[in-house]
Amino acid sequence: MVGRGYAIFDTAIGRCGIIWSSTGVVAVQLPEAREIDTRRRIFAVHPEAREQQPPLNAELAIEGIVGLLQGNDPDFSDVSLDAGGVPGFNRRVYEYACTIPRGETRTYHEIAKALGASGAAHSVAQAVAKNPYLLIVPCHRALEAGNYTDRLSPYGGVISKRRLLALEGAHPVASKTLFEVLLPVAPPRPST
């Protein structure tokens, strides 16, 4: 196989995409509202990828993703990832994310501390936001302080961390409301 290939496949939440190279899985694309939008996102990030029959490694990943989205607990340890373009710190974050047990979460600060970079919570958040291996590397288990859920990444599609965690039996706090965002920055009321 030369270059990158991709395939679109059915899951319990819609049609996902997977992109691979000869080295391993390059990215997973969760479904957009319409399949054409999922394909557009793949083309936007990987314009060189061509639709092909997935090789065995990608088939293993697809099987695991389908199972996970049905509520199963797949083992992705045999799936090879192409980490050629992934910065070293991000790799460390992804390796750590793979150790977070199903149904549990860690905050960005906890992950940074575990990596020996306690002041790097923002860098952890950036790495999580750039995770191309959605579901295979469970960065949906990494949350901001307060365990708030948010959008996943450029590959996230329309599904939220909250929904993925619910499939695993975790119950993080729902996304922040406008009130919660504005309250900490609101000026104090004058005393009367």
Helical spans, DSSP H, in 98-190: 108-114, 121-129, 161-168, 178-182
Let me know if 98 is a catalytic residue: no
Strand partners, 17: 8, 29
| C-alpha to C-alpha distances, 187 to 45, 58, 179, 183, 184, nearest whole angstrom | 42, 53, 13, 9, 9
Residue among 16, 28, 65, 139 flagged as catalytic = 139
The residues annotated with a catalytic role in the active site are: 139
